[in-house]
Structure 1
Amino acid sequence: METEPLLVTTNDGVATIVINRSARKNAVTQAMWVDLAARVNAFSADPDARVIVLRGAGDDFSAGADIGEFDTLRGTAESARAYEATNSAAFAALRNCAIPVIAAIRGICFGGGFGLAAACDLRIATADAQFAVPAARLGLAYPQDAMGDIVWAAGPQMARYLTYTAGRIDARAALGAGFLLEIVEADRFDTRISEIARTISENAPLSVRASKAAIRAALSHDADEAALAQAVGDTTFVSTDYAEGRAAFHARRTPVFRGR
């Protein structure tokens, strides 16, 4: 019996967040949007957290927002705006997270679930994954900030196709659009996700954070984000990890980074 809608575990710097409503294809309630944002923001601020893996329980990633709540929590313009603020906060938490976030995608990745995946840094899927943004079938506008994630992740033409038609695409089409990094066979999927997460976690955390900030600044062309990226990058030069990296190189051993 499902009890916790979000399951969170940590292991050697790898935080895993599982959307845990498989009976509802991992549809996300308003309370879950709020909780997800809080969890991601907490890991972003945690110096011991190095990477987040976001996944769904069972055979699906997420069907998106739970439509069963729409009549009561999204039934008027005012309540719809309030609801949208909660899911936008979850997208923003992933987008702005200081550490990398990997979306591990099986099965359905629709609507708000697609938005969550789009806000992540890396997206890896099984061959049976299906993707859609069906807002036009519900008469809704997709949040503008989340649409930006979709455009960056899938490209403007695919973003137009998905939102105008509300049609589905398969993993191969998503890979071709650049939305996916890899398609992995189901029997190797968990292993591959763990491999990538572990590799990231073993690298110098400050360096990885600096790279994420620099990539974001390069994409946004925002002066404030460029200044932040420069500041984060500058911290690496005075870190003990930088000294450890040099020492390990000269000693021909594997470095042990502390994120300090």
Structure 2
Amino acid sequence: MLDTPKNAEKSYADGKILQSVADGVGIITFNNPDKRNAMSLEMWEGFGSALIELRDNPDVRVVILTGAGDKAFVSGADISQFEKTRHNAAASEEYSRRSEAQRALLASYPKPTIACIRGFCLGGGMQVAMMSDIRFAAENSQFGIPAAKLGIAYGYDGLKHLVSLVGPSWARLIMYTGMKIDSAEALRIGLVDRVLPGPELWDATMEIARTISGNAPLAIKAAKITIAQVLKDESRRDMDAIKQIGSACMDSEDFREGRTAFMEKRKPRFNGK
């Protein structure tokens, strides 16, 4: 287990995106509680900057995404910006280009990510949650994609992740109706992985994050790469990437440390090499 001291909290987008590190765990907080953490374009770009910094920090082995307060994870896009940034097709395309660049960072993120969800998780917040590797939710959470109620298209990437998690029939129901579903239904259909009482959510999320941060980073990277390839069409799978990371694991110092620790009946100390 890493013993990284907690870093000073950093902020982006005028304080509406917060980032900190503790015990090998990076934490990004969507901090716009007055608007139920609705995402402005500036927040998307700040989110991308925070992701890049944690990605490049060698002390960080896993990243938690969460919303400030208990009302929302992310309640979607900041609709008050739409008149300025998404008022027609051309403006919407520019908005999408700039915000999609940040979502692409998350979709291809090399480190494990966990969405810790309280309250509303809607629209763009669903995209963030679905692109995360693991989703834990509080019992009071609500999920939905209200695109049909706003007259906008949700986009290929978001729907690809939705279909992969819940299947095409539930994806149609969610998209056609714009309905909200509660955390129990979200768990039942596979949208989230675990539901906990609100007071227990953060500690349970951190426990999983610390467990991940204490495991061998190369082995986790191998699992992440291989699962991503499994989800692709067979013709597009990069089997060489799977073979390469497998070889790196077998030749690593961590593999030797894991074997030695097992024989010596102690916890291994992995360094990611």
Q: TM-score, normalised by structure 1?
A: 0.95
Q: How many residues matched?
A: 259
Match of 2:269 in 1: 256
Out of 182, 202, 205, the position equivalent to 1:170 is 182
Partners in 2 of 1:255 and 1:150 — Cα distance?
37
Match of 2:9 in 1: none
Partners in 2 of 1:176 and 1:86 — Cα distance?
34
Match of 2:5 in 1: none
Partners in 2 of 1:92 and 1:107 — Cα distance?
25
The answer to whether the 8 A contact 1:29-1:66 is kept is yes
Deviations 1:198-224 (A, max 9, x none): 000000011101100100000113645
User: 1:45 Cα shift?
Assistant: 4.0
Out of 199, 204, 221, the position equivalent to 1:209 is 221
User: 1:186 Cα shift?
Assistant: 1.2
Cα 1:168/1:127, change in 2 over 3 Å? same
Cα 1:90/1:3, change in 2 over 3 Å? closer
Q: Which amino acid aligns with 2:55?
A: S
Counterpart secondary structure, 1:55: strand
Q: Which amino acid aligns with 2:134?
A: L
Match of 2:26 in 1: 15
* Matching of residue 44 in structure 1 with residue 50 in structure 2: no
After the TM superposition, which residues 143-182 of structure 1 pair with which residues of structure 2 at under 5 Å, given as runs?
143-182=155-194
Q: Which amino acid aligns with 2:103?
A: F
User: 1:116 Cα shift?
Assistant: 0.7
Out of 237, 246, 256, the position equivalent to 2:259 is 246
Structure 2, unaligned stretches of length 5 or more? 1-12
Partners in 2 of 1:155 and 1:175 — Cα distance?
14
After the TM superposition, which residues 1-260 of structure 1 pair with which residues of structure 2 at under 5 Å, given as runs?
4-59=15-70, 60-221=72-233, 223=236, 225-260=238-273
**Higher deviation after alignment, 38-47 or 24-33:** 38-47
User: 1:161 Cα shift?
Assistant: 1.0
Q: Which amino acid aligns with 2:63?
A: I
Partners in 1 of 2:238 and 2:86 — Cα distance?
33
Q: Which amino acid aligns with 2:60?
A: A
Partners in 2 of 1:86 and 1:164 — Cα distance?
27
Partners in 2 of 1:95 and 1:104 — Cα distance?
17
User: 1:114 Cα shift?
Assistant: 0.8
**Higher deviation after alignment, 54-63 or 231-240:** 231-240
Counterpart secondary structure, 1:61: strand
User: 1:247 Cα shift?
Assistant: 0.6
Partners in 1 of 2:18 and 2:36 — Cα distance?
15
User: 1:31 Cα shift?
Assistant: 1.3
**Higher deviation after alignment, 21-30 or 216-225:** 216-225
Counterpart secondary structure, 1:15: strand
Counterpart secondary structure, 2:231: helix
User: 1:194 Cα shift?
Assistant: 0.7
RMSD, aligned α-carbons: 1.5
Counterpart secondary structure, 1:159: helix
Q: Which amino acid aligns with 1:243?
A: R
Partners in 1 of 2:166 and 2:126 — Cα distance?
11
The answer to whether the 8 A contact 2:230-2:237 is kept is no
Deviating beyond 4 angstroms after TM superposition, the runs of 4 or more aligned structure 1 residues are none
